[in-house]
Chains A and B, each alone.
Chain A
Amino acid sequence: MTVDNSLNSANLFSISYRFLRRDVLPLLADLRLAIVLLLAIAVFSMTGTVIEQGQSLEFYQSNYPEDPALFGFLSWKVLLWIGLDHVYRTWWFLGLLILFGSSLTACTFTRQFPALKAARNWKFYTQPRQFEKLALSSELETGNLETLSQILQQKSYRVFVEDNALYARKGIVGRIGPIVVHASMLLILAGAIWGSMTGIVAQHMIPSGATIQINNIVEAGAWSSRNIFNDWSLKVNRFWIDYTPEGAIDQFYSDLSILDKQGEEIDRQTIYVNKPLRYKGTVLYQTDWSIAGVRVKVNNSPIFQLPMVPLDTQGKGRLWGTWVPTKPDMSEGISLIAQDLQGTLLVYDKEGALSDSVRSGGETEVNGVTLKVLDIIGSTGLQIKVDPGIPMVYAGFGLLMISALMSYVSHSQIWALQKDGKFYIGGRTNRAQVAFEREAIEILDRLESNNSLPTKV
């Protein structure tokens, strides 16, 4: 049996559109789905704070053995298969976030916009029975729309009067707030996705005085351009640490220059933690430091610059060391150990015994030679980042802060009607029931006290 292909595909399209519209959209916009999604994201986020993230295979094998498995099922095999070692980057967690974004969008169109429209298309109440459904409604013997209108305007309501009916409202901003909240969250999600697709992260450890081309890229999005750093190079004029009088680190500083292809300086700034350098969408952050080398003189030798290397302390603090030959044939030498950039070096002689400590600029006698330490050279650890998603994310942040505050406002409405010698008044609000009740009762009190003084016209 043959089928008309074009008809079939058109049919398929309309069927799937109807399916999306009728079945998928209401499901996505269902508040219960939204709540389940919120709580599911919360629960899976929790697992990432309980189970150590990004550890080695051996770590999970020793901490999550197969027998006895944690809770009877969570062995390292199951854990790694689900991806609980990197929860926030698993396909299912990202899928949940995208589903959450879709639910937000669906909810905005099927619920929030209609609700705002309904709030804007208000009606006067023209029948007394319309007041009966309101909890805060009352029927007064006499009443005056003019007086009520004045009272309401004092309470910053917007008042509309037509014939013998009155409508007043305030706080419609509280109906707009949630819509903007949803929109700004979508903006943040979109900015985060855009940033991860187009962003680049690089890291460099650069000694004081060195010039480098940024090329040690540790992360790059699929659509990022890697030659963004080709037009310029980076010079570290100086790196230093300020210490407090007690010897604790006060702040790290890097004096940086951006050089063009000819080596001309384009920009120069001193950065520290909490103050990065920005250049054409690239941001350089102070994140780490190390000791690169030491400049020494032995007797009357020329100045040697010797590299210092980090020593394995098994996690107990940081130490750097180097070896200085004291005989021309390098058969004897001394070791220098530094633990920070405060300028003090420990000097060990050829037997490996501690001989002296020397400050930079000072000198010491060891192995029968005079060792003069001119300088200890630090190197700065920089994180270099390009994230084109930032403007979107920040715009989302700004809107989210404002709209979350807007959403606190309660939308209050008051109706009044003068009919058949009676005065009907009623109102409702969507959030601040208690405050609105107080306001409504006060309005009623003022109306009644006005009515009870008929002589005062």
Chain B
Amino acid sequence: MDLVLLQSWMDNISFATLFVTMLVYWVGAAFPRIPYLAALGTAGMAIANLCIATLLGARWLEGGYFPISNLYESLFFLTWGLTTVHLVAENMSRSRLVGTVTAPVAMSIAAFAALTLPDDMQVSEPLVPALKSNWLMMHVSVMMISYATLMVGSLLAIAFLVATRGQNIELHGSSIGTGSFRHRNGKVTPSNGAASTLDLEPAIVESPYPAAESNGSTGTALLDRVSLSVLKTTSPAAAPLSPQRLSLAETLDNISYRIIGLGFPLLTIGIIAGAVWANEAWGTYWSWDPKETWAFITWLVFAAYLHARITRGWQGRRPALLAAAGFVVVWVCYLGVNLLGKGLHSYGWFL
């Protein structure tokens, strides 16, 4: 089979699929009552994921080395990572909102790689001596997957910020466990006293304990919770104890935290793999090369995010703002440093 032809088919198909998938997610978010859209979105992401895997597999066969050595391959590997982490996050949250933020980003990257990048930058090239090592696969693939994971986590934080704009939210999930306790005094009341204006469906409920227990409506889970806890404090004997469910915003926030929590150890492992490789190849595990430094900066920003979540008084939207800033930092680390064209990591790159 003609591997080059297969590749050119696969990169266009994956771009087209991602484009359609993005529209499906957006229409689904705007009109939550249309059936099958959520399943269609998930299917689109899965198809794009498989197409990109085929594309990269074909290049691996053709080039004979792990296909992550130039910008084109690396962009598609990133998109593959994004679609994979998207599927994980969607499965964790059972919310189709995830796709409204991840699909456009995945689509844009695939579009840039398949359409904008000049043809001579798309061809597979032999590796320079410094990259001829098994560490290449270990270091670069883990780094790329961690970038993808952190990007999805940051995008969910951005979605959380959009969904809760103008509200004062208490956070759930942090290593000391500040969440998990019953709200009593209206801590989650929107600060302006108004309900969330977003008309989005909450996470899929599959149990006899609906999120909105007191009035059974959807969309204003935050207010429902408050009315529930007010009921509790005023007449404790009247209502039996029943589980207090997470709202949509809390679900988004917690999934964002979990995904970043997964990306952070991956980033750690990727940086360490790079450090060990550098030490084995050049005799120094840390040389403050711009790419290294930016990976360290990314690590610091997300470490600050993880610590902000457990700091009293800093919870709420502030950690999410840090995570959203992390999205920019990951991009600077991934591409921005190469625009400077300095340091060890400018091998086989562009500009």
Contact = CB atoms under 8 A, between A and B. Distances in A.
Interface in B226-264: 232, 236, 240-246, 250-251, 254-255, 257-258, 261-262, 264
A404 B180 contact: no
Nearest to B286: A192
A132 interface: yes
Place the interface of chain B in its size category: 35 or more
Interface string A131-145: 111111111000000
28 contacts: A32-B311, A35-B304, A39-B304, A42-B300, A49-B293, A131-B241, A132-B232, A134-B181, A136-B244, A175-B175, A249-B129, A274-B135, A276-B283, A283-B283, A285-B282, A285-B283, A394-B276, A397-B272, A404-B264, A408-B265, A424-B241, A430-B173, A431-B174, A433-B179, A434-B93, A435-B258, A441-B207, A445-B207
Query: Which 10 pairs of residues, A with B, have the shortest CB-CB distance?
Result: A430-B177, A428-B180, A404-B265, A139-B241, A42-B300, A38-B304, A135-B244, A274-B133, A385-B283, A31-B311
B302 to A, nearest CB: 9
Contact of B132 (A273, A400, A424): A273
A407 B175 contact: yes
Interface in A140-184: 174-175, 178
Interface string B144-165: 0000000000000000000000
B118 interface: no
Contacts of B281: 273-274, 276, 285
A31 B177 contact: no
A428 B181 contact: yes
A246 B308 CA distance: 54
A38 B300 contact: yes
A194 interface: no
A250 B176 contact: no
Interface-central residue, B176, B277, B296, by most chain A CB under 10 Å: B176
Interface string B273-290: 001110111111110101
Contact of A273 (B130, B182, B209, B276): B130
A49 B276 CA distance: 22
Contact of B176 (A131, A430, A434): A430
A355 to B, nearest CB: 34
Contacts of A273: 129-130, 132, 281
Interface in B9-67: none
Contacts of A35: 304, 307-308, 311, 314
A25 B116 CA distance: 55
Interface of A: 31-32, 34-35, 38-39, 41-42, 45-46, 48-49, 53, 88, 111, 115, 128, 131-139, 174-175, 178, 192, 201, 244, 246, 248-252, 272-276, 283, 285, 287, 383, 385, 387, 390, 393-394, 397, 400-401, 404-405, 407-408, 411, 424, 426, 428-435, 437, 440-442, 444-445, 448
A397 B275 CA distance: 9
B265 A133 contact: no
B241 A48 contact: no
A430 B265 contact: no
B143 interface: no
A399 to B, nearest CB: 10
A411 B177 contact: yes
Given A39-B304, A138-B243, A400-B272, A133 B297 contact: no
A139 B294 CA distance: 51
Contacts of A435: 92, 258
A430 B132 contact: no
Nearest to A411: B177
Contact of B92 (A175, A407, A429, A434): A434
Contacts of A274: 129-130, 132-133, 135, 277, 280-281
B130 to A, nearest CB: 6
B107 interface: no
B132 A251 contact: yes
Interface-central residue, A132, A250, A405, A430, by most chain B CB under 10 Å: A430
Contacts of A385: 283-284
A242 B307 CA distance: 50
Interface string B178-207: 011111000000000000000000010001
Interface-central residue, B268, B283, B337, by most chain A CB under 10 Å: B283
A92 B308 CA distance: 25
Interface-central residue, A135, A385, A408, by most chain B CB under 10 Å: A135
A429 B258 CA distance: 13
B173 A431 contact: yes
A115 B283 CA distance: 40
A385 B280 CA distance: 11
A442 B243 CA distance: 12
Given A276-B280, A432-B254, A32 B314 contact: yes
Nearest to A241: B129
A424 B242 CA distance: 10
A192 B173 CA distance: 34
A115 B178 CA distance: 12
B321 interface: no
A345 B156 CA distance: 61
Interface-central residue, A131, A383, A393, A433, by most chain B CB under 10 Å: A433
B269 A251 contact: no
B277 to A, nearest CB: 8
Interface-central residue, B129, B294, B303, B310, by most chain A CB under 10 Å: B129
Given A42-B297, A134-B181, 4 more contacts: A49-B290, A133-B181, A192-B286, A433-B254
A405 B265 contact: yes
Contacts of B182: 132-135, 137
Contacts of A445: 207-208
Given A136-B180, A273-B132, A445-B208, A434 B311 contact: no
Contacts of B341: none
B123 interface: no
B140 interface: no
Nearest to A118: B176
B163 to A, nearest CB: 15
Contacts of B243: 135-138, 437, 440-441, 444
A244 B93 CA distance: 51
B214 to A, nearest CB: 16
Contacts of B280: 274-276
B291 to A, nearest CB: 9
B261 A431 contact: yes
Contacts of B172: 433
